[in-house]
Amino acid sequence: MDGTSGDGATPRDERAPGERHTPVLLERVTELLDPALRDRDAVYVDATLGMGGHAAALLAAHPRLTVVGMDRDPQALELAGRRLTAYADRLHRVHTVYDDVAGALEQAGVPAADGILFDLGVSSLQLDEDARGFSYSRDADLDMRMDPTTGPTAADVLNSYTAGELRRILREYGEERFAGPIANAIVRTREKRPFTRSTELVELLYGVVPAASRRTGGHPAKRTFQALRIEVNRELEVLRDALPAALDALAPGGRIVVLSYHSLEDRITKRVFAERVRSRTPVDLPVELPGHGPEFRLLTRGSEQASDSEVARNPRAAPVRLRAAQRVEDGP
């Protein structure tokens, strides 16, 4: 994945998906993972393989590296396989959601990971393909499933959730100020006809979100589409389970990098990392007990952002926040 937040505002790129894919913060990601992968038989888990941009760079840089590439999107796995044909003997592609790192490692026949990357959000492939329905700038079926083979669609959510449930996801996942009026308008509209196309929802949002807010807060559909996508794919729920599982799967000295694209993802990452870098010695003891020190150490001070030059090259890097951590060598 290239991890864009999926606001739909990026100009359409008519190149093939693999050609237009620009990995976010590629140099920084490879720099952070390099000490755990260099000059050894190492295992790298790309928990959000997407079109394989980060994986391609790491495979080229580390001839002894094995990659376990996970993705819930079958189309992304297929495209990544084509892109990484030269490294087929060192690549294991696994069709699964990123909270199953342990299962992916078991399927690949390796016991632990030396490096793990989560590049969250919606990928260029998903955002740019009309049929997927992720973008509010083009008319499409209201689907928004990262794995189009299973689960409810965005249309299912719009047409079946109560006003209270819609209000909750718009407020929590989209941080939408007008969640109540939007939810009520959705329920009123679907009584006449069910939602099927993205333009139907966009038109409703233009009618509900005040013009003054549109002038200062961006496109009126941005937050609603984000909230629906997160709900359809259970993104935050999955992430809360995925990060602890990934940390547990790291070998001593192993490193993890997480690229988040909105504050909700970044808060979860910050909280999970903070729990693992604390000492496990009881706070009332004057010295740290052997074997009770922190399991991890942070590799970044707070979250890092893309530079102006990176954003100029790849506008979808604008919202990114990077955090990284390393398992302590002598940890449990």
Residue 261, C-beta contacts closer than 8 angstroms, at least 6 positions apart:
3, 4, 5, 120, 121, 319, 320, 321
% of the chain exceeding 70 in pLDDT = 84
Q: What is the DSSP string of 200-238?
A: HHHHHHHHHS-HHHHHHH--TTHHHHHHHHHHHHTHHHH
d(CA 115, CA 125) in angstroms, rounded, equals 24
The mean pLDDT of 265-271, rounded to a whole number, is 97
Residue 168 has a pLDDT of 98
Q: Where are the beta strands (DSSP E) in 50-175?
A: 66-71, 91-95, 113-119
**Which residues touch 170 (CB under 8 Å, ≥6 apart)?**
176, 179, 182, 183, 223, 224, 227
Report the pLDDT value the prediction gives residue 10, as an integer from 0 to 100.
Answer: 43
236 in Cβ contact with 96 (< 8 Å): no
What is the average pLDDT across 225-247? Answer: 96
Of the two residues 324 and 22, the one the predictor is more confident about is 324
Over the stretch 40-75, which tens digit does the pLDDT of each residue have? 999 999 999 999 999 999 999 999 999 999 999 999
Residue range 224-232: mean pLDDT, rounded = 96
Distance CA 122, CA 8 (A): 11
What's the pLDDT score for residue 38? 97
Q: How many Cα atoms sit within 13 Å of 44 on the Cβ side?
A: 33
Q: Dig out the tokens for 71 from the structure.
A: 């993705």
- Average pLDDT value over all residues in the chain: 89
Residue 7: pLDDT above 60?
no
* pTM of the entire predicted model: 0.88
Confidence of residue 293 (pLDDT cuts 50, 70, 90): confident
Query: What would the two tokens of residue 158 be?
Result: 């719009």
